């Protein structure tokens, strides 16, 4: 009987994954990953925050314990706090310092869930590992999940092809509604538990309050991108992203405005008014390329954000290993630090990190850092 170690998160997707695998005749055990330490939330500016915040990870662990009791499977727990700090959180902070907008979830999958976790599962005698991701694997190809609204291949696009060996995605052929119905019928405790949202280590806390624990705010000028005039003050570039419209720091200014760029060198935040022309680009440069597929297409489609739509693109492979992505129809809010994920129909081909953004063969000066 093949043994499967399931990554138990305390949520309904991993719970149903374990249930389905057990129903299919596998020997199933759960493994809960502890990736974050609440004691690391002490404010570097001298304001302790631990007593004001209870890490939801502990509640998730308690939920996972109860789920495994219901399913009558063992649950193990492993500490990946150091690995997460070294491979994911440090990257997150360094990207913020560069003025970019990182997505740590892709690195968590690459270095923790499908590397450190997989190694730990092998120590427990696993033949396979399984997670609750909405994705499918077929003959080494990563395919979108059946539920297009929950498809998570975007977050798996930095995982290597070899890392997907002996991996199962039990809920990939189901919709979220079907998963919850299975959980209810099986009387699983987390059947109606809300999905986690946002960045996992921030949880429900206010983003700017959390970031202040690790990066000291460096206020600077807000610049009108058209007139070059100073129109306000920002409270640290790490608190803003391209396309942001709310909480920009221009109180009292009712004219429609949005963040269109920032310069780390000058410590300036650039804001535009009116139409969205400054948010559109027609090409971008990618680094840190990862291909899951053996195919290197000249054209395909791409997502520039998880919830974004698929855009037709052309790829130019450069000698330095980077890729120039072209989208003549123009795309809104392509942001340095985010990931461009390649698709060919249902298949996720791979991804790269957006390094620079261009319009009409010119690097956008207000995104020049």
- pLDDT value, residue 47: 46
**pLDDT single digits (tens) 158-197:** 999 999 999 999 999 999 999 999 999 999 999 999 987 6
Position 201 confidence tier, pLDDT thresholds 50, 70, 90 = low
Domain extent, residue 41, equals 3-185
Residue 116 shares a structural domain with residue 8 = yes
For the entire predicted model, the pTM comes to 0.92
Residue 28 shares a structural domain with residue 138 = yes
- pLDDT value, residue 275: 85
Instruction: Identify the residue with better confidence: 210 or 245.
Output: 245
The CATH number of the domain holding residue 73 is 3.40.50.620
Among the listed ranges 250-254, 302-306, 331-335, 360-364, which one has the minimum average pLDDT value? 250-254
- Distance separating alpha carbons of residues 336 and 13, to the nearest angstrom: 31
Please report, in angstroms and rounded to a whole number, the separation of the first and last CA atoms in the chain: 55
Residue 271 shares a structural domain with residue 284 = no
Residue 87 shares a structural domain with residue 232 = no
* 2 φ, ψ (degrees, to nearest 5): -65, 140
- pLDDT value, residue 200: 62
* 203 φ, ψ (degrees, to nearest 5): 65, -135
Instruction: Identify the residue with better confidence: 208 or 316.
Output: 316
* 328 belongs to a structural domain: yes
Position 209 confidence tier, pLDDT thresholds 50, 70, 90 = confident
- Distance separating alpha carbons of residues 170 and 168, to the nearest angstrom: 6
- The percentage of the chain sitting over the pLDDT mark of 70, rounded to a whole number, equals 92
Which residues are tagged catalytic? 108, 200
Residue 18 shares a structural domain with residue 138 = yes
**pLDDT single digits (tens) 5-54:** 999 999 999 999 999 999 999 999 999 999 887 655 544 444 444 444 45
Residue 245 shares a structural domain with residue 322 = no
Q: Is the pLDDT of residue 319 over 80?
A: yes
- Distance separating alpha carbons of residues 62 and 223, to the nearest angstrom: 48
The CATH number of the domain holding residue 229 is 2.30.30.280
Average per-residue pLDDT in the chain?
91
* 23 φ, ψ (degrees, to nearest 5): -65, -30
Structure tokens at 265: 């060198």
**pLDDT single digits (tens) 91-149:** 999 999 999 999 999 999 999 999 999 999 999 999 999 999 999 999 999 999 999 99
- Distance separating alpha carbons of residues 94 and 96, to the nearest angstrom: 5
**pLDDT single digits (tens) 223-241:** 999 999 999 999 999 999 9
Q: Is the pLDDT of residue 222 over 70?
A: yes
- Which residues does 116 contact at the CB level (< 8 Å), separation at least 6? 80, 83
Residue 300 shares a structural domain with residue 168 = no
- pLDDT value, residue 36: 81
Dihedral, CA atoms, 110, 115, 120, 126, nearest 10 degrees? 100
Beta-bridged to residue 5, according to DSSP, are: 29, 129
- pLDDT value, residue 52: 45
Residue 124 shares a structural domain with residue 261 = no
Tell me how many domains the chain contains. 3
**pLDDT single digits (tens) 52-69:** 445 677 889 999 999 999
Which of 251, 275, 299 is the last residue in one of the domains? 275
């Amino acid at each position: 009987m093949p043994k499967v170690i399931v990554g138990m998160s305390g949520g309904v997707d991993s719970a149903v994954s374990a249930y389905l695998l057990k129903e299919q005749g596998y020997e199933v055990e759960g493994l809960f990953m502890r990736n974050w330490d609440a004691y690391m939330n002490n404010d570097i500016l001298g304001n302790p925050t631990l007593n004001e915040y209870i890490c939801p990870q502990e509640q998730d662990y308690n939920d996972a314990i109860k789920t495994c009791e219901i399913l009558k499977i063992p649950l193990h727990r492993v500490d990946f706090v150091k690995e997460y700090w070294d491979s994911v959180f440090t990257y997150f902070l360094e990207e913020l310092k560069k003025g970019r907008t990182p997505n740590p979830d892709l690195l968590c999958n690459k270095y923790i869930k499908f590397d450190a976790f997989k190694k730990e599962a092998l120590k427990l005698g696993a033949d396979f590992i399984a997670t609750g991701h909405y994705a499918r694997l077929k003959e080494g190809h990563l395919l979108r999940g059946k539920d297009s609204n929950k498809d998570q291949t975007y977050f798996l696009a930095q995982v290597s092809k070899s890392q997907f060996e002996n991996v199962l995605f039990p809920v990939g052929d189901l919709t979220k509604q079907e998963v919850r119905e299975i959980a209810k019928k099986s009387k699983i405790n987390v059947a109606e538990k809300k999905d986690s949202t946002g960045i996992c280590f921030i949880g429900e806390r206010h983003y700017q309050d959390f970031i202040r624990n690790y990066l000291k705010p460096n206020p600077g000028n807000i610049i009108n991108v058209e007139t070059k005039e100073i129109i306000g003050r920002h409270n640290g570039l790490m608190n803003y992203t391209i396309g942001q419209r709310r909480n920009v720091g221009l109180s009292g200014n009712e004219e429609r405005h949005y963040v269109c760029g920032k310069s780390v060198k000058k410590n300036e935040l650039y804001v535009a008014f009116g139409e969205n022309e400054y948010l559109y680009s027609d090409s971008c440069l990618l680094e840190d390329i990862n291909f899951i597929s053996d195919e290197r297409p000249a054209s395909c489609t791409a997502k520039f954000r998880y919830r974004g739509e698929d855009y037709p693109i052309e790829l130019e492979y450069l000698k330095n290993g980077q890729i120039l992505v072209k989208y003549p129809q123009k795309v809104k809010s392509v942001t340095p630090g985010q990931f461009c994920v390649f698709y060919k129909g249902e298949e996720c081909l791979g991804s790269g990190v957006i390094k620079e953004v261009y319009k009409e063969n010119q690097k956008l000066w207000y995104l020049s850092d």
